[in-house]
Amino acid sequence: MVELPLNETISNEDVDSLLGIASEKNSTIISISASLIKKWWEYRDNKYCGIAFRDIDVTRKVPSVASERMKLGQWFEYKCTGAVNRDGSIPEMPMTSTGKPTAEAKRMETQAENFKLLAKTEGLEVIDTGRVLQIDYPDYRVKGILDIFGQMYGEPCIVDIKSSGLIGNQWEEFGWDEITFNSRHKLTIQVVFYKFLALHVLGIRDIPFYFLIHSSTNDIDYEFWEVKLYDFEYAMQETGKLIEQVLMSVKDDMANGFIPKPSMKRCKKCDLLQNCIYSRITPEKKVVYIDGIYSK
Ligand code: SF4
């Protein structure tokens, strides 16, 4: 049975980032997306390997196969909006080995109905799905792919569809909780990044941005958030600086080499494991100390 990890949120952009788009494979143009920035943060914080970052995220030399989690996410979005895969194929409903829909697929089918009800209630008009917002430079681009570009409350808007097992969770990095959301950079980046693209590509200042977050663990829970910025100008300046910082760092590593960061847990799940000379498939040695208290 396919299990949807509780600590992850599925979004179309992550799927695009991981699978790449055929024409971009082996690209020498650096494509800065919100997903790439999240991976760069992980690499910088020693939570992701530089070799994997280079081959999977930056050059996209290594093709990735869609995981069951990604296929479920693609299918869910198809049920919500009719969005097809980037290659034009229709996402298939995940099935068990006996040919029946998985429990997760059935749950997300109900959640897709929840999405449609909310869209109708709030008057969301979907103008298009999968719209690419892109700023081109000679050797890099800044790019985002919208789940939904639409119209709501009389204004153009961006809607991002999520499925998550962490609705209301205050503690996890990917927890969807209103109070702690402000400090969840891996979630907030998508808002400021898309607002940045909407400003520079569409000429829309501070476009309304909505998250529709659907539970992946039950049929009932789902949330509707509008995310606003306290200071739009400041957020756009900081986003521009962040893009430049990531670009400079990636260019520097392309010239001087990305740093391998092998670890057993990472390597065993890595698509590059088979031919990687840096891989580690046994645990790293940990040194632990006794503090001198020997009696109870
Ligand atoms: S196998 Fe390990 S060292 Fe090699 S690229 Fe993957 S994570 Fe990095």
| Domain at 222, CATH number | 3.90.320.10
Q: Is the CB of 260 under 6 A from ligand 1?
A: yes
Could you tell me if residue 296 is inside a domain? Answer: no
Closest atom of ligand 1 to 276 CA is: 4
Q: Is the CB of 106 under 6 A from ligand 1?
A: no
**207 Cβ neighbours under 8 A, 6+ residues apart:** 156, 157, 158, 194, 195, 198, 199
Report how far residue 282's alpha carbon sits from residue 49's, in angstroms, rounded to the nearest whole number: 16
Q: With a threshold of 0.75, does the pTM exceed it? A: yes
Q: How far is the C-alpha of 148 from the C-alpha of 124, rounded, in Å? A: 10
Q: Which domain holds residue 179?
A: 9-275
Residue 295 belongs to some domain of the structure: no
- Cα 288 from Cα 296, distance rounded (Å): 20
Burial 202-232 (b: 16+ CB within 10 A, else e): eebeebbbbbbbbbbeeeebbbebebeeeee
Ligand 1 lined by 56 (C-beta under 6 Å): no
What's residue 17's pLDDT?
46
- Phi and psi dihedrals of 141, rounded to 5? -140, 155
Ligand 1 atom 7, closest CA? 267
Question: Closest ligand 1 atom to the C-alpha of 280?
Answer: 2
Q: Tell me, what's the pLDDT at 292?
A: 78
Indicate the DSSP class of residue 54: I
Query: Does any domain span residue 30?
Result: yes
H or E segment and range at residue 213: strand 209-215
**In this model, does residue 20 exceed pLDDT 60?**
no
Within-domain flag for 13: yes
Residue 15: the pLDDT is 45
Which residues, including other chains, have CB under 8 Å from residue 154's CB and lie 6 or more apart?
A: none
Q: Kindly state whether residue 1 falls inside one of the protein's structural domains.
A: no
Please indicate whether residue 101, judged by its CB atom, sits closer than 6 Å to ligand 1.
no
**Ligand 1 mutation target, pool 42, 43, 47, 49, most atoms within 8 A of CB:** 49
Place of tokens 């390997």: 49
Biggest CA pair distance of the chain: 72
pLDDT at 5: 41
The answer to the question of residue 213 being in a domain is yes
> Does residue 267's CB lie within 6 angstroms of at least one atom of ligand 1?
yes
Give the model confidence (pLDDT) of 56-96 as tens digits: 999 999 877 778 888 999 999 999 999 998 888 899 999 99
Centre of ligand 1 to C-alpha 119, Å, is 43
294: in domain: no
> Does 71 map to a domain?
yes
Q: Is 62 in the pocket of ligand 1 (CB under 6 A)?
A: no
Domains contained in the chain, number: 1
What average pLDDT is seen over the chain? 90
Q: What is the pLDDT of residues 98-152, one digit of tens each?
A: 999 999 999 999 999 999 999 999 999 999 999 999 999 999 999 999 999 999 9
Cβ-count burial of 284 within 10 angstroms (0-12 exposed, 13-18 middle, 19+ buried)?
Answer: exposed
Q: Do residues 212 and 76 lie in contact, with contact meaning Cβ atoms separated by under 8 Å?
A: no
The residue behind tokens 């996209």 is 60
What dihedral do alpha carbons 180, 109, 148, 9 form, nearest 10°?
Answer: 30
